[in-house]
Amino acid sequence: MSKTKNIYLIPYVFWIVLFVVAPILLIVYYSFFDIEGHLTIANYEKFFTPVYLKMTLSSFWYAFLITAFTLLISYPAAYILTKTKHKQLWLLLIILPSWINLLLKAYAFIGIFGTYGTANALLEVLGIGSKQILFTDFSFIFVSVYIFIPFMILPIFNALEELNPSLISASRDLGANSWTTFKRVIFPLTLDGVKSGCQAVFIPALSLFMITRLIAGNRVITLGTAIEQHFLVTMDWGMGSTIAVFLVIIMVLMMLLTGKRKRGV
């Protein structure tokens, strides 16, 4: 093997340092400055006050709900998909909406959930009467789940595809019914797909800010909304960075938790 120098590394490492390492360090650096530019740890003290802790908790709660509902809808869908005839085509059709700009889909829901929108018209027909749907927790969670469904289906679909069908046959031969087969064989073996799906949903769900603004009407404040608020509205970059630091920490924890490790049962 020739020991020529790897000159390709130079531009690539330059990119990594400039756009991966430096931005993270800058976020950490800025989190120690207050709005007037004094060096301080006040931002961290502020983060641990009830206001911010409550916001973090509610942000978590929403992200959790969104992830749970997305999983609940996506798992069966992915499972049924693997059993269809032209599954690659169907999968493409499922993923296609995820290519449409997120804002356009959110905007559509402003119409659907609006006071005179289709959802309310439907409620009228059912005799329930029109309700305030837009700008509620329900609409926020619904739209978020809607947006994340394809990202959850894809990894689960791939995991199900990798599953060796003879294992299911074996389980059947040994007398397990459908439910037992699912619980003991199929689900545990596709857990990796579920994990990466949850990872692909949970972290973005913590940091969504356009949906909260458009659909939840500022009633829901996630970590992402708070960061955007601090950076672009109040211009308190220090506090925004502090929240970002915590978001990064949460992200790393989440990755460690759901990362591809050997399952140590």
Partner 1 sequence: MRKNGKLSNLYLIIVFIILYAPIFYLTYYSFNSGGTMHDFERFTWEWYKEVFHDTRLFIIVLNTLIVALLAAGISTVLGVIGAIAISNVRRNRTRNTLLSLNNVLIVSPDVIIGASFLIMFTMIGIKLGFISVLISHIAFSVPIVVIMVLPKLQEMSPTLVDAAKDLGASRWDVLSKVVLPFITPGIFAGFFMALTYSLDDFAVTFFVTGNGFSTLSVEIYSMARQGISLTINALSTLIFLFTMVLVVGYYFIAQRNNKAAGMGVRK
CB of residue 217 to partner 1, shortest distance in Å: 10
Q: For residues 88 and 265, which CB has a smaller minimum distance to partner 1 in the complex?
A: 88
Give the Å distances, CA to CA, from 32 to 23, 35, 234, 243, 245. Answer: 15, 10, 17, 12, 11
Tokens 């458009």, located at residue: 214
CB of residue 11 to partner 1, shortest distance in Å: 5
Q: For residues 7 and 265, which CB has a smaller minimum distance to partner 1 in the complex?
A: 7
CB of residue 83 to partner 1, shortest distance in Å: 5
Q: For residues 135 and 265, which CB has a smaller minimum distance to partner 1 in the complex?
A: 135
CB of residue 70 to partner 1, shortest distance in Å: 12
Q: For residues 174 and 265, which CB has a smaller minimum distance to partner 1 in the complex?
A: 174
CB of residue 265 to partner 1, shortest distance in Å: 26
Q: For residues 46 and 213, which CB has a smaller minimum distance to partner 1 in the complex?
A: 213
